[in-house]
Structures are given as structure tokens and as C-alpha cells.
Amino acid sequence: MKQLQRKNRLRAVAAGALVVSSALVLSACGSDDNSSSGGGTKAGNIKCDGKGQLLASGSSAQKNAMDLWVKNYGAACKDTKINYKATGSGAGIQEFLQGKTAFAGSDSALKPEEIKSSKSVCKGGQGIDLPMVGGPIAVGFNVPGVDKLVLDAETLAKIFDSKITKWDDKAIKKLNPDAKLPSLKIQAFHRSDESGTTDNFTKYLKAAAPSAWPHEPGKAWEGKGGQSADGSSGVSSQVKQVSGAISYFELSYATANSIKTVDLDTGASAPVPATVDNASKAISEAKVKGTGKDLALDLAYDTKADSAYPITLVTYEIACDKGNKAGTLAATKSFLNYVASEDGQTSLKELGYAPLPTEIATKVRETVKSLS
């Protein structure tokens, strides 16, 4: 049975490689602890509850993960259709706060004012952050003749703030003495939409190079100059197509589009490439900063630990701790139970995501079961 599951998984990954959006599909079952209160049926090890359509929106960073989760859950739970739209974290949170969706996807935790607003939607409760999967934010580049590129936080900050404008700048040369850097204009692309990916990327710049990045981190881009595109798919497509381009997006988009990625000089013993394992090492240093059932994390953006890749994000699902809509509560818990399960987590590694550390994943599963 395990061998058959593995074959199915590999077949699906191969098929997904043909899809430009990298919406990879593979077969997986939920773990044994996928339980949910109330009735329902069990398909394999996934506990199916609720019927009808479940609406959600938000983070484009988690789109590839959500495509996989929705596919696997839908194959097991025929009576429930999950409709997730990758509108960006900011738009997803707004739709959730307007009561339009059962949950939202976001690459950054709710702000205090958003938690306050959520109380009008979550009757008797509030919105909470449930970390579901992490991963590296890769810095992708397209520089003719350059296959390997090392940059540090200060140089990245100056590139994205239009203070370094040519690829043969002395600061880049110093970090890449053996590279044949062309005298080519840098085409820096940032997100045009409000994005948790932007929030995490700028938090890294601010934490690791505060003197070079004078702007406050946030979902909306604050740097000077550059060009913009919508969503992770938009900026990664620009890097793929434009000579001299550089941008930031989740590793899965770099992998799907065969885009080269920057190794980071963090002050560790060697430059750190953007890999799932290196992101996991950085995420394992995160601390829970939320209170009560809120599991918002404080990430170590300025880590100098060997093999720890610091530009990471943890993508959240945002739901009500209490006051969820009765018509969608059962399906919401059932789906999130699967997402947080061991199999729901580990299957994502092949897509370039980092499963949650065990301690955090356990807390998420317990919190999902308590939603009311």
C-alpha cells in the first residue's frame, strides 16, 4: 500500500510539472489524528464533515499548497467543495472581516486593529492565526551569464530601494568575485498588491539591514522605484521573461519556472541557499507571540546560524475561535484538520514548502478541534 501511494505521489508530481501555475497534485491520506467533533463520514483517514461549498481567499504564497490540499480533500470528501481564491493576503483578510469567507489565507499575522474588527464577524469570539505551513521566500534573478549569485541583506535593500542600479556594481562584485557580471540595468520587481510575502521580505530587510532599509515593513510596498506585478505568479513571470530582473517569491514559483535563486550571505560560515530544509532550520527558532488560541509566530529574520535561511514566511489560515458560521463550521474544521495533519503537512515538501515544526503543528491541531 505504501509503495502504491508513493507511485501515485510521484506520478502526480510529474504531471504537475506540466502546469505553468505549479498547481501540483498528488495523492495523500490524512493522519490518524484527523478527528472532528460531531457526525460525518470517514474516507480513508480523512474525517469528512459538512456539505456544500466552503469559500476562502487570500495568500497567493499558499496557492500551490492549497491546490494540493483541496484536491486531496475533495477526492475523499465528495459532498464538500472548497473554493480558494488566491487574491493576496490583504484582500483575503478584508473578505474574511466582511464575513464573505469561512477562513482567510495570510502570510502575516493579523494586526491588532484587524483582530478588533474581527469581533464583529466572530460573534462572541475573534479572528485567530493558525500557522499551517512555512517555506523560504526565494530571491529569483535573471542575469545573462550568471548562474550563481550571492547577496547580503544590505545589498538587497539597496537594490530594492533603487540605490544600486547596475549588475556590475562594486558591492555585488565584492560578494561575487568570480562571476562575470554584465553592465546591465537591474530590473527590480515588487508586488503591486498588498502581500504577506512583501511583509515578510521587508521584515527581513529591516531586521538584517536596518541602516540600508529605512522603510517600515508592511504588506504594501514602501521602497523607492522599481516595477510592480500582481501576485507571486506575476513577479516570478517577470523575472522569467525580463533580462536583468530580480524579485522575491515563494520557492515553489522559482522551482516551477526554473528560475535561479540567490544564496544569502547572512554572516554564517557559508552563504545559505533557499531550500526547504534551510528554511525549516530558521523557522524552528520561531516563538509563539499570540495569546490565547492565537498562534501567531515571531520569526528569526536576522539569524546567523549556519544553514538557516532567514527570508521565510509562515502562511496562516485565519478563522474565528468562536462564532464561526454554523453552516460552514463543520466543513471548516474538517478541512483544517486535514491541512494540519501529519500527511497534509509532509506532502507539501515536494512542492517547496517547509512542514511546521512538531511542537507548533501539535498546537494547531488542538486549536482547530476547539473551534466553535
Maximum Cα–Cα distance for the chain, whole Å? 65
pLDDT of residue 42: 58
* Distance, CA of 5 to CA of 81 (rounded, Å): 24
pLDDT of residue 243: 98
For the cut 70, the answer to whether the pLDDT of residue 4 exceeds it is no
Residues 6+ apart with CB under 8 A from 174: none
- For cell 505568479, the residue is 233
Radius of gyration of the chain (CA): 20
For the cut 60, the answer to whether the pLDDT of residue 19 exceeds it is no
Least confident range of 18-27, 77-86, 219-228, 361-370: 18-27
- pLDDT digit string (tens) for 131-183? 998 989 999 999 999 999 999 999 999 999 999 999 999 999 999 999 999 99
Q: At what angle do helices 326-340 and 358-370 cross, to 10 degrees?
A: 160
Mean pLDDT of the chain: 88
Is residue 46 within 8 A of residue 29, CB to CB? The reply is yes
pLDDT of residue 43: 58
How large is the average pLDDT for residues 339-356?
87
E-strand ranges in 16-160 read 41-43, 46-48, 52-58, 80-85, 103-106, 127-142, 150-152
Phi-psi region of 335 (alpha: psi -120 to 50; beta: other; left: phi over 0): alpha
* Distance, CA of 76 to CA of 63 (rounded, Å): 20
How large is the average pLDDT for residues 307-314?
94
Please give the residue that has the higher pLDDT: either 35 or 144.
144
pLDDT of residue 346: 82
pLDDT of residue 61: 83
Please give the residue that has the higher pLDDT: either 88 or 329.
329
- pTM (predicted TM-score): 0.75
- Residue 60: all three cell numbers together: 497567493
How large is the average pLDDT for residues 260-288?
94
Taking alpha carbons only, the member of 197, 200, 134 closest to residue 355 is 134
Taking alpha carbons only, the member of 290, 327, 294, 339 closest to residue 126 is 294
Residue 78's SS3 state is coil
Q: Kindly report the CA angle at 109 between 30 and 323, in degrees rounded to 5?
A: 70
Phi-psi region of 81 (alpha: psi -120 to 50; beta: other; left: phi over 0): beta
